[in-house]
Amino acid sequence: MTNTWYLYVFFAAALVFAGLLGLLGKRNLIKLFIAIGVIGKGVSLLLLATGFAKANIMTAQALVITYIVIEVSLVATALALIINIYRHTRSLDVRDLAKLKG
Amino acid sequence: MILQTALLIGLVIFSVLAIVLKDLLKSAISLAGASLLLGIIFFRMNAPYAGVFEISVVAGLITVLFILTIALTKSGDEVRESKLVNWAFPLVFVAFLVIDALVMKGLLGKVPALASGPEAGTFGEVLWRGRTLDLVGQIAVILAGVFAVLALFRKRDKHD
C-alpha cells in the first residue's frame, strides 16, 4: 500500500510544482488561473490518494467534493474579474495591472 | 497498476501542456483532458462520487467558463511571455521530478501515522452526518460566488 501511496504522492507533488512554476513564470491572467487549476488537481489527487492508502476513502471523497465546489465558485468569480480587468485595460497582461490609475 | 501509472503520467503531461501551450484555447482543452484523466483515476481508486464530480463539474463546467472567458477576451492572447521562462520551465520541472523521485519516499516514511479506525456506513452517511458543516460551507461558498459574479457584472446606475 505504501508503494501505491508513494506513486500518487509523487505525481501530486509534480502537479503542484508545475502549477507553481506556471504561476511564477506566466504573465497571461487566464494562464495564471489554469496554473491554479493544475495546483488544485494535485491537491485533490493527494487528498484522495491519502484516503485510499489509509482506508478512509469516503471522508477523502467528501473533502474532494467540497474542494471542487469551492473551485467552481473561485473560478467563476476570478474569470468575471478577469473580464472586467480586460474591459478596463484591453489586455490580459498581469504587468498592466500595475499601471492602473484611479 | 500499470494502467494507473499510465493515467497518472498522462495527467501530468496534459497539465504541463495546459501551462506551456501558447494558444489559450488549446490550454483550456488540455486542462479538460487532465480533468478527465483525473476523474478516471478517481473511479479506479474506488471513489466514484469524486470521479463524477471531477468529470462533470471540473472537466465540463469549468472548461466552459474558461472557453467563454477566452472568447470574450479575444485579443488577450497576444500577451508576450518571457522567453527565459519558456526554456527554463522544462529544465526546472525535470530537475524537480528527479529530486521528487529521490526524496519523496524518505519523506513519506517520516509522516506519523494518525490513529483512525476503518470507516463504517455508506458514502451518503459519511457525507451527510460526518461532514455536515462542510455542506453548509459549500452552500455559503456557492452563494458567495453567485453574488460576486452578480456584483461584478451589474449595470451602472444613472448616478455613476
Rounded Cα–Cα distance for residues A19 and A8 (Å): 17
Residues B131-160: pLDDT tens digits? 888 888 889 999 999 998 888 888 776 665
A7 vs B: CB within 8 A: yes
Average pLDDT over residues B59-84: 83
Average pLDDT over residues A22-31: 90
N residues, chain B: 160
Q: Closest by alpha carbon to B81, among A30, A102, A87, A74?
A: A30
User: Which residues 99-158 in chain B show a CB within 8 A of chain A?
Assistant: 100-101, 104-105, 108, 114, 116, 118-119, 121-123, 126-127, 130-131, 134, 137-138, 141-142, 144-145, 148-149, 152-153
**pTM listed for this prediction:** 0.90
* A81 Cβ contact list (under 8 Å, min separation 6): B152
Taking CB atoms and an 8 Å limit, are B134 and A66 in contact across chains? yes
pLDDT greater than 60 at residue A102: no
Identify the structural domains of chain A with CATH numbers, from first to last.
2-99 (1.10.287.3510)
pLDDT greater than 60 at residue A5: yes
Taking CB atoms and an 8 Å limit, are B126 and A58 in contact across chains? yes
pLDDT greater than 70 at residue B10: yes
SS3 for B53-118 is: HHHHHHHHHHHHHHHHHHHHCHHHHHCCCCHHHHHHHHHHHHHHHHHHHHHHHHHHHCCCCCCCCC
Average pLDDT over residues B29-38: 94
Average pLDDT, chain A: 88
Q: Which residue of A has its CA nearest to B10?
A: A11
Could you tell me what percent of chain A has a pLDDT over 70?
95
Taking CB atoms and an 8 Å limit, are B145 and A73 in contact across chains? yes
Torsion of CA B96, B102, B104, B106, to 10 degrees: -150
Taking CB atoms and an 8 Å limit, are A19 and B19 in contact across chains? yes
For chain B, what are the domain ranges? 1-76, 122-154
Residues A32-80: pLDDT tens digits? 999 999 999 999 999 999 888 888 888 889 999 999 999 999 999 999 9
Question: Taking each helix axis from N to C terminus, what angle separates B83-109 and A2-25, rounded to the nearest 10 degrees?
Answer: 150
Average pLDDT, chain B: 86
End-to-end CA distance of chain B: 61
Compute the nearest-CA separation of A23 from chain B (Å): 9
